[in-house]
Amino acid sequence: MTNGNEVLKILLEENLSKLYGINPNEANAEQMYKALATTINDLLKLKKKSFNGLVRQKKGKRIYYLCMEFLMGRSLKNNIYNMGIQDEAREALKDYGFNLDDLYQLEPDAALGNGGLGRLAACFLDGLASQNYPATGFSLRYEYGLFKQKIIDGWQTELPDVWLPGGDVWLNERDDKTYKVRFDGYVEEQYLDGKKYYIHKDYREVTALPYDMVVSGGDSDAVSTLRLWRGVNVVDFNINSFSQGDYIKAMQYANEADLIAKILYPSDNHYEGKNLRIKQQYFLVSASIQNIIADHIKYYGDIKTLPKYVSIHINDTHPALCVPELMRILMDDYKIEFDEAWEMVKKCVAYTNHTILAEALEKWDEGLIQRVLPRISIILHQIDDKFHDECRCLGYTDEELKPLFIFGDGQVRMANLSVIASHHVNGVSALHSEIIKNSVFNGYYKIWPEKFTNVTNGIAHRRWLTQSNPGLAKLLDEKIGHGYYKDASQLEKLLKFKDDADTLKQLAKIKYENKCRFAEYLYKAQGIVIDPNTRFDVQVKRLHEYKRQLLNVLKIVSLLIDLEENPNIDVTPQTFIFGAKAASTYYVAKDVIKLINYISMHIQRLPQIKCKLNVVFLENYNVSGAEVLIPASDVSEQISLAGKEASGTSNMKFMINGAVTLGTLDGANVEIHDNVGDDNMFLFGMKTDEVEALWYRGYFAKDWYNKNPRIKKVLDRLDYGFCGQSFGHIKKYLIDNYPVSDRYMCLADFDSYMEAYNKMDEAYKDKKKWAQMSLVNISKAGIFSADRSIREYAQNIWNIKPIK
């Protein structure tokens, strides 16, 4: 037995004793999981302490990454792999009669995120730690996350995602780092020695209590910290109400504080929801900015040196209120004049835009901000006035500036605030960055062209390849060595095996084994049987109209019609797999989920068709499910309407696992195409300029229905329905909806999509060619590593250096 095994066993036994007062032979699986997780957590905290000491010694600049969500997935496997102790852990547990893989399954996915935004943030914490950058992420410690998805009679039902009983082992409560956050009340102006001061009165105060999650890097000295805030009220307990039996009133303020971090993205289609969302966002940024400044003062002493040692990143618009909050602290607590404080803020803050969709660029009612955050409201007006004055001096008219102001039409525009305050603004793919310069933020681009740049998204390749696809990782180690683990660009060495029959054969074997593994996973999770000999055609991502899961469904219905008319036609056996959550009040998206499930139910009744065409909806899609599904996928569906997807990251995860993309020239698909070429992916549909031109001319979806017999046949089939359920309302949405039908142009791209699908189908029949395409995708995926993204942020935006 190695020394590593012995040390790990000693620590495990100590933690079993401390946590439960038992020996290893008395422990059940749950107890052993928590003891192991505690042991790994303890080791990482020691590593973090050492690295933080080095950062202070070298006076390194730090990056603070603010995001409303971090989709972390499971931590145990990720940390053990990153620390390089999987063999030691496996052997130590074996001596106690436990299997490491079984313990992995006991950990719930951390319910701290939803989709691509949160998963990107999680990948970035990994990339920062792996390259020894000093980094802290800030978010909220959600009790129930977004929701747990349950499909009942085809319909998405939302349940609380109870993750803390198994997940809190990774959270380290820091009651030494609490801060007060103030809501409501009013602001009184006072004058002293001729200067105006703002005094916030009659406010309600909530204590922000942090919980730290340590995030390891791959073979590195650094450990990132994800600090998660929870609201508590430790003062306003009404003992008189309690004594009189009015327990609800006695606990009112405590309950209101507790609500702040109950769930991620509460519905905001009513006043209470909007009020809670604003409180969540301000609570996050206020606690985080207070924390950042307190640490800076502790270690460096002088508030004026903040821009030298601190970089604050706004990931999407949710944390935009960090701008006026930083201004508030600099002016009210440190008595810095507005102009000087504003220059400091602009040197500290940068912003990543993640969407061009108008509805996703957050706007809040001006009156709501004024009521809930009266001091912040005043500062926002001052920032807007400052921007107005500066631009008028540059010769811009009020008419030109009107859409650029923070305030407009009774709303506070959070994207405008983020752009105005940031020293850099970036998009997340080459196409997206051009779009925001030329349309969404064109007015700002004309004023500050030097402010805008691009950093294409990336993925944690160690997690999504090495951990998720051990068969492929083993083959890569044998063929090209292990260097790709730290330097993903080395994956390109695999290209020299493109014509090697043995390598291609091994790739096909690994894919089949991964498909068998997913089939087993799906059966255990949902009792659904699928055939791993079929082609796995996969679309997994948040359910949204612009991502066009509906277009994929229309294709499937077209194929189904052909099989219903002639079950004996010769087709490639295929299984279409969907995984997606729809926002709880997004009924158009929930209808698409129901349609997918009803088509699936219909096919299950037709065994002669099911063996050739199957449809599966993966319930409660999450990181852990993705880690099994993505390595098993043959075809990656990336079919958003051109110009609507900022980047996407699932496309990169599929690519690095050897799936071949069927997609539009949208988001990072453009850069995938740049790297693999026409011969190794299947493109279809209009380009961004063609989409805009069609809208300009006038897009009338019903014309496509009337003129295209295949489209008419497919939509009429929706009207007829599946399993006794008509989906005529979806047909109406596509061709007879007011004020616009088919706004994401499924019908306009349908023929092109079917043509690309048929080309893909033909290519798949040539097993050697398909394996070669798969190999090219793997070898060219290195550029989409989060490590590369982080280096670009560090060098071009944050101006931070690794600490070694």
Residues taking part in catalysis: 354, 541-542, 547, 649, 653
Closest Cα to residue 319, out of 346, 296, 351, 364?
351
DSSP characters for 36-81? Answer: HHHHHHHHHHHHHHHHHHHHHHHT--EEEEE-S----B-SHHHHHH
Q: Are 719 and 727 in contact (CB under 8 A)?
A: yes
Cis peptide before 307 (omega within 30 of 0): no
Q: Are strands 186-192 and 195-201 parallel, antiparallel or unpaired?
A: antiparallel
Residues paired with residue 157 on neighbouring β-strands, in sequence order? 150
Residues paired with residue 189 on neighbouring β-strands, in sequence order? 198
Distance CA 765, CA 745 (A): 30
Closest Cα to residue 687, out of 640, 649, 648, 650?
640
Q: Which residues contact 373 (CB under 8 A, 6 or more apart)?
A: 183, 278, 282, 321
Q: Are 149 and 581 in contact (CB under 8 A)?
A: yes
Both tokens of residue 629? Answer: 């599904």
Distance CA 528, CA 518 (A): 11
Identify the three-state secondary structure at position 777. helix
Closest Cα to residue 680, out of 754, 753, 771?
771
Closest Cα to residue 776, out of 499, 459, 431?
499
Largest CA distance in the chain: 91
DSSP characters for 659-713? Answer: PEEEE-S-TTHHHHHHHH-GGGSEE-S--HHHHHHHHHH---HHHHHHH-HHHHH
The DSSP symbol for 108 reads P
Residues paired with residue 204 on neighbouring β-strands, in sequence order? 183
Report how far Cα 132 is from the mean position of its chain's Cα atoms: 23
> Which helix (H) or strand (E) segment is 548 a member of?
none
